[in-house]
């Protein structure tokens, strides 16, 4: 697979031990002009060489995450793990992903928080914890308390945005 879409500029930054490399368009792609700098990716496989998908500004993509199709990642967004951003998706705000805080993965973005496979708005989670819903899905009371603390942390970060 030949990459005639983007190249690395040589600018790097290290975040939590991961080396990110800034990209630059080799050719014009829709609103992206040839030579225009983009955001940061860890490795070439994070951004498809096909389509018009692009990473802008200070956005970062790492791990096994992939951006493809017509998708756009920009602003202070962080896409990582095994995330897939595709189609005409646009990721602008930061995504907060807390792993190993409790027995579930906790992810927060915009006005939503996902704990394990349960996704609710902030207001929805307040009601869940008030009613002690899902407590049977945690291994014990301490784990439930950790999930609630992780939610409160995510809520405080999202409210600052």
Q: Is the pTM of this model over 0.75?
A: no
Query: CB-based burial of residue 160 (10 Å sphere; 0-12 exposed, 13-18 middle, 19+ buried)?
Result: exposed
- Phi-psi domain of 150 (left: phi exceeds 0; alpha: psi -120 through 50; beta: other): alpha
Residue 45, pLDDT score: 95
Q: How far apart are CA 62 and CA 82, in angstroms?
A: 9
Contact present, 76 and 58 (Cβ < 8 Å):
yes
Helix-, strand-, coil-residue percentages of the chain, each rounded to 5: 20, 35, 45
Contact present, 90 and 71 (Cβ < 8 Å):
yes
Residue 40, pLDDT score: 97
Q: How far apart are CA 146 and CA 8, in angstroms?
A: 41
Residue 7, pLDDT score: 96
CA angle 83, 15, 107 (to 5 degrees): 35
Of residues 146 and 10, the one with the higher pLDDT is 10
Work out the percent of the chain whose per-residue pLDDT is above 70: 86
Contact present, 6 and 25 (Cβ < 8 Å):
yes
Of residues 87 and 8, the one with the higher pLDDT is 8
The residues spanned by each domain of the chain are 6-91, 96-160
Q: How far apart are CA 56 and CA 37, in angstroms?
A: 8
Convert the pLDDT of each residue in 111-141 to its tens digit: 778 887 788 888 888 888 888 887 777 778 8
Residue 4, pLDDT score: 92
Mean pLDDT for the stretch of residues 133-158? 79
Of residues 92 and 76, the one with the higher pLDDT is 76
Residue 85, pLDDT score: 84
Averaged confidence pLDDT in the chain: 83
Q: How far apart are CA 107 and CA 64, in angstroms?
A: 17
Q: How far apart are CA 101 and CA 158, in angstroms?
A: 17
Convert the pLDDT of each residue in 26-54 to its tens digit: 999 888 899 999 999 999 999 999 999 99
């Amino acid at each position: 697979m030949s990459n005639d879409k983007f190249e690395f500029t040589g600018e790097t930054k290290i975040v939590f031990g991961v080396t990110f490399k800034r990209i630059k368009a080799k050719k014009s792609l829709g609103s992206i002009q040839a030579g225009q700098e983009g955001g940061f990716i860890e490795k070439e496989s994070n951004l498809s060489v096909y389509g018009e998908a692009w990473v802008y500004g200070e956005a970062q993509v790492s791990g096994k995450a992939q951006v493809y199709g017509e998708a756009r990642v920009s602003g202070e967004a962080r896409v990582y793990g095994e995330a897939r951003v595709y189609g005409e998706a646009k990721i602008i705000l930061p995504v907060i992903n807390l792993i190993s805080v409790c027995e579930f993965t906790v992810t927060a973005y915009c006005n939503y928080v996902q704990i394990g496979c349960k996704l609710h708005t902030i207001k929805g989670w307040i009601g869940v914890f008030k009613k002690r819903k899902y407590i049977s899905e945690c291994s014990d009371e301490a784990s439930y308390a950790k999930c609630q603390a992780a939610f409160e942390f995510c809520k405080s970060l999202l409210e600052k945005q």
